[in-house]
Amino acid sequence: MLRRIVRIPLGVSGAVARHGRPGNRVASTMHGLVMLSAGLLLGASVATNVRCQEPPAVQAAGTPTALMVFIDYEGAVRPDLSPTELRVEAAHALAARISPDGQGVLSYPEIEPSMRVWGVRTAGDLSNDLLHALGAEYGIETVVLSRLVVFSDRLLLLSRGIDRKSGTVAWAEIDETSLSDDFWKPGHLDMERWRSAVAKLDPIGNRGPSGSGVDEAPTALVLPLRPFGLSPHSGELASHALLEALLSSNRFRIPDPSLVRNVLRAKGHDPSMLDVDGRNELLTWYEPSALLVPDLLTFETAPISSPTITEFGVEPADLSPVSSARSPLYFQVLAVDCATRQVRSADAVYLEPDDSVGLFGLTHHVPLARRFEKAAEEIVEQLQKRGGNL
């Protein structure tokens, strides 16, 4: 399924100019300032709301964990139930997977006020300020960020555990479950059905929510992946698979990509066009050994105006844009030296189109998650063959 492309060691020294302040100290200093200014800007009403909110008691048993759940609907999926209720139910179901008795886990409804204050509306909005607030207000130590992508025929759960104090990703996990053909049938879907479908997904895999990061390893910053000709969710999936593979190797310390992006955004830098100032900002905050710059491109070249398969009277299994994630893909990761701005290596895999037809004409797709996980593992394997020294 995968075709290895190439691995390019350029024999460049891994030395990175070490200057600037340590990230944590900066984070805490910045946090104080931001907290103060945000409090002033948001006005009395919001601030009062936060203060009046009774802090839910986080039990001492286990690591105090905050679970944030975000739901994205791919393609034409539009359930006729309230999105808010679906989110609350999903959060409950996933929290139960982390802690069956509910001890030590705060989920969406409880932490929603803090998320609102710090403007966290999507999984990409995570900020150092919110992490600090979760620690100060609820005693949270680990944040589990789960992104549930809803397809017409499956649910995909992209989860990662973030150490609240350091902002590094401790683990990443992808889970997938298929849905029955009549799942979205109008009048057929109810909350119980939704909850049982979500409950099949495991946000943390075979580990505790806190997991373990690698503190002494070189820091690698994963910049946002650019999906070309694919839905953003395909890009998220590929990016998450890369994160999972990097962490599984235990060779890299990886600050959460959302935090990195927001550090750049806060100073007006665009991660897709990272100039010298942007790089200096990252050097100051993280002293990274390398920037990992992933790209995902579809090699499907059929013009959009060409006759579709439906015009020939054949109904494809899936009409949502996710079918493009099964198209031939080129997954490339550049490792860039943050100080010299030089590309140190390029690793890429070509994913053959996933349209294999088995016996009697039955199509057996590889699960989407597995398709991307294999590609990411292949890329990280190439990195590891260099000794993992970025």
Partner 1 sequence: MKRPTILRSSTFAVLSIAALLPALLGCGSSAQSYVKPMVDFSYLQRAAVLPFQNLTRDDLADERMQSVFLTEVLSAEILEVSDPRETAAAMLTLGIPANQGLTPEQAIALGKQLSVDAIFSGIVEDYGFARGGLDRSPEITLVLALTETETGSVVWRSQVHETGSSFWKRIFGGSPDDIYEVSRETVRKALGTLL
Each residue 142-171 as x (binds partner 1 by CB under 8 A) or -, in order, gives: ------------------------------
**Site for partner 1 (CB under 8 A): which residue of 4, 6, 15, 24?**
6
Q: CB of 223: closest distance to partner 1 in angstroms?
A: 8
Give CA–CA dist 374/335, Å, rounded: 19
Q: CB of 368: closest distance to partner 1 in angstroms?
A: 20
Q: Judged by CB under 8 A, does residue 348 bind partner 1?
A: yes
Q: Judged by CB under 8 A, does residue 323 bind partner 1?
A: no
Q: CB of 386: closest distance to partner 1 in angstroms?
A: 14
Start-end of H helices in 252-335 = 257-266, 276-286
Each residue 192-231 as x (binds partner 1 by CB under 8 A) or -, in order, gives: -------------------------------x----xx--
Amino acid at 353: P
Contacts of 377 (CB under 8 A, 6+ apart): 245, 248
Give the number of residues in contact with partner 1, rule: CB under 8 A.
Answer: 39
Nearer to partner 1, 170 or 223 (CB): 223
Q: Judged by CB under 8 A, does residue 73 bind partner 1?
A: no
Q: CB of 159: closest distance to partner 1 in angstroms?
A: 28
Q: What part of residues 265-304 is at the interface with partner 1 (CB under 8 A)?
A: 270-276, 278-279, 291, 293, 295, 297-299, 301, 303
Nearer to partner 1, 153 or 295 (CB): 295
Give the full edge-to-edge strand order of the sheet including 65-73. Answer: 105-106, 65-73, 142-150, 154-163, 169-178
The tokens describing 198, both together, are 């979500």
Instruction: Please tell me whether residue 168 adopts helix, strand or coil conformation.
Output: strand
The tokens describing 53, both together, are 């909110």
141: closest CA among 116, 163, 172? 163
CB 210: neighbour CB atoms within 10 A? 19
Give CA–CA dist 80/93, Å, rounded: 20
The tokens describing 136, both together, are 């100060």
Q: CB of 358: closest distance to partner 1 in angstroms?
A: 20
Q: What part of residues 228-257 is at the interface with partner 1 (CB under 8 A)?
A: 228-229
The tokens describing 241, both together, are 């698979």
Q: What part of residues 86-105 is at the interface with partner 1 (CB under 8 A)?
A: none
Q: Buried (b) or exposed (e) across 251-273, using 16+ Cβ within 10 A?
A: bbbbbbbbbbbbbbeeeebebee
**Site for partner 1 (CB under 8 A): which residue of 310, 341, 363, 389?**
341
Q: Sign of dihedral through CA atoms 231, 235, 276, 164?
A: positive
Q: Judged by CB under 8 A, does residue 332 bind partner 1?
A: yes
Q: Judged by CB under 8 A, does residue 342 bind partner 1?
A: yes
Q: Which stretch binds partner 1 (CB under 8 A): 24-32, 177-185, 257-265, 333-341?
A: 333-341
Instruction: Give the total residue count for the chain.
Output: 390
Indicate the helix (H) or strand (E) that contains 377. helix 368-385
Enumerate binding residues for partner 1 (CB under 8 A).
3, 5-6, 8, 10-12, 223, 228-229, 270-276, 278-279, 291, 293, 295, 297-299, 301, 303, 328, 330, 332, 334, 336, 341-343, 345-346, 348, 350
